[in-house]
Structure 1
Amino acid sequence: MRHLLRTLWSQKTSIAFIQETHLKGKDAPKIRDRRFPQGFYATNSEVKRTGVAIIFAHSVPFLSSASQADPLGRFLFVKGMIAEHRYTFATIYCPNKGQHRFLAKALTQLERFRDGTLVLAGDLNIPLDPRRDSSAGTSTIPPALYKESKTGIKHDSDHAPVQVTLKSPLFNPRELQWRLNESVLTDTNFTTQITQTLTQYFADNDSPAIAPLTVWEAQKCVILGQLIILCTQWKRQHAANIVDLTHTIADLKTRHKRDQTDDTYLLLTDKRRQLRDLLSQKLLHTIWKSNRHFYEFSNKCWRTLARTLQQKQRQHHIHQVKGRDGTMKRALADILQAFRHFSRSYITSTPPHDERRHHNTYTV
């Protein structure tokens, strides 16, 4: 489960529809962590063959109003609010036989349950339209919501993940801040290029007409630009190697299932080892960065404390308030306006008249 959640987080997933969870009963472990704190599950109390789940990232302020789970773990419906918009999220896992009859019953229940914009996902085990399969590149999602979609690679399951990006009123682009990835300093080619750049810079600008302080300050800008260029190239190459190895492993797995030869198996094992080494480098860098972070700021009220307070703030997120007219306000602008009216009326309100202010003595 941890690997699944890490994969979802690395792909910047906001809402995940999961099928074949193989969780049994209501006391089964939940698929969630601090990055995906909210989840809904449908399990089978008898067997582990089925099971579906819908989990939400902490960045999605979803306020659930109702849910409907299949006792056999075949479908799950959840509806609620995100800001001022109503959504219904549904996931369906059809059986291998009698798919059409099951799907007709499930969609009938979904039609009664749905409210607002419907987002349906799942493993239906059938093509929705044999003449127009998903490989044709067309979509029936409304153009006002649809942005892009893509099919991933099978590596954690025997099914390939499908990723769909929808437009959201909550989207707020952030300005990214570049930071040096210290692990590139262990690459000899990288350090050689940096050394050559510095040597060439000082050779070109070593002149009595230029003040040494100016040369020194200017080289910071030069080396920063060179670091950004080289780190970007290194990051793209590293990501491309992971993607290439993942595709190669998927092809070799298919070939090995078909041929069952020793050469294919040895090649598949070698490619898996290469992929594991690449992922291990990233893991070691993450561990090193975490250790350095806590060593430097463990005793300071800095970002560590701020992140802890931010997690508390997310847990107490205000989804809706009642306005002056008695209606529920769910949009962020309306919530802020309601608090603004309340604060203004509270500050400008006149205190009750106190007769004791006009007397010098008090009667007991």
Structure 2
Amino acid sequence: MAYRLDSIKIITQNCRGLNLAERRTHLLRELQRDRAAIALLQETHFQKGLAPPLRNKHYPTNYFSNHPAAKKAGVAIMIATRVQFRELDKEIDERGRYAFIKGEISDRRYTIATIYAPNRNQARRLTRLQKASITAATWSDYGQVSIDIDSLFTRPIKKTWRLNDTLLTDLRDQITQALTTYFSENETDDVSDMTVWEAHKSVI
């Protein structure tokens, strides 16, 4: 099977709290619908030791940084099943402010981070950024920020159906023989060439 390079779709979402089961359901449904490979979440509002479950079969690999004493702050990284991620290292804040993980996807090393902090000193240029968009806000106060970056992540190429030319060989031979016979039998002095030519179309 042939493969081609695929992008890694990363979605970041300020959740404004995920303690309600309904909000977690909305999040997981949208991530799956949008085919997010990696989700970076802020403001999960999970408290350490009291956090509700946030995973399903599509996003089994998760990293959480929860606040130690209250339902506030909190960040998470969620990785889809189809992403073959191998963890090398991680740094998880104990106060729910950030989570960093380092690992490999298709033999390329990545550092993935989610941070709940003011936007300061942002990078001016991301050379591998392919596409970025902000979706409409649905269940949260903020829409998702989605980016696509180039990678060595691969996926199968859909095969395009193509007619096997050899299947037409017999048909072509039959048509050639029929036309040869037709013209040899009908090209006579008493019938014009134009009539013979026009009539041969019905033979085909």
For normalisation by structure 2, the TM-score amounts to 0.62
* 1:273 aligned partner: none
Q: How far apart, in 1, do the equivalents of 2:147 and 2:124 lie?
A: 10
> What is the DSSP-based 3-state SS (H/G/I as helix, E as strand, rest coil) of the residue aligned with 1:157?
coil
Residues 1:141 and 2:108 aligned together = no
Q: Please provide the CA RMSD for this pair.
A: 2.2
Larger radius of gyration: 2
> What is the Cα deviation at residue 148 of structure 1?
0.7
* 1:43 aligned partner: 66
Q: Counterpart amino acid of 2:38?
A: I
* 1:79 aligned partner: 102
* 1:55 aligned partner: 78
Q: Counterpart amino acid of 1:166?
A: I
1:326-337 paired onto structure 2 within 5 Å: none
* 1:6 aligned partner: 29
* 2:188 aligned partner: none
Q: How far apart, in 1, do the equivalents of 2:77 and 2:149 lie?
A: 16
Q: How far apart, in 1, do the equivalents of 2:159 and 2:28 lie?
A: 24
Q: How far apart, in 2, do the equivalents of 1:166 and 1:156 lie?
A: 26
Q: Counterpart amino acid of 2:152?
A: P
The structure showing larger relative contact order (alpha-carbon pairs under 8 Å, at least 6 residues apart) is 2
Q: Which runs of 5+ in 1 are unaligned?
A: 95-123, 130-137, 178-364
Which of 53, 56, 63 is residue 30 of structure 1 equivalent to?
53
Q: How far apart, in 2, do the equivalents of 1:68 and 1:86 lie?
A: 16
> What is the DSSP-based 3-state SS (H/G/I as helix, E as strand, rest coil) of the residue aligned with 2:154?
coil
Residues 1:175 and 2:198 aligned together = no
Residues 1:91 and 2:114 aligned together = yes
Q: How far apart, in 1, do the equivalents of 2:158 and 2:80 lie?
A: 21
Q: How far apart, in 2, do the equivalents of 1:151 and 1:171 lie?
A: 25
- Which has the larger share of helix? 1
* 2:41 aligned partner: 18
State, as a whole percentage, how many aligned pairs show the same letter.
31
1:169-318 paired onto structure 2 within 5 Å: 169-175=152-158
Q: Kindly provide the CA deviation profile for residues 16-41 of structure 1, in whole angstroms up to 9, marking residues without a partner as x.
A: 00001111114522321000010100
CA shift in 2, pair 1:176/1:151, >3 Å: farther
> What is the DSSP-based 3-state SS (H/G/I as helix, E as strand, rest coil) of the residue aligned with 1:6?
helix
- Number of residue pairs the alignment of both structures matches: 137
Q: Counterpart amino acid of 2:131?
A: E
For normalisation by structure 1, the TM-score amounts to 0.35
* 1:152 aligned partner: 135
Q: Counterpart amino acid of 1:56?
A: I
Which of 71, 93, 97 is residue 70 of structure 1 equivalent to?
93
Q: Kindly provide the CA deviation profile for residues 182-230 of structure 1, in whole angstroms up to 9, marking residues without a partner as x.
A: xxxxxxxxxxxxxxxxxxxxxxxxxxxxxxxxxxxxxxxxxxxxxxxxx
- Which has the larger share of strand? 2
CA shift in 2, pair 1:51/1:165, >3 Å: same
CA shift in 2, pair 1:176/1:28, >3 Å: farther
Q: How far apart, in 1, do the equivalents of 2:58 and 2:147 lie?
A: 20
> What is the DSSP-based 3-state SS (H/G/I as helix, E as strand, rest coil) of the residue aligned with 1:66?
strand
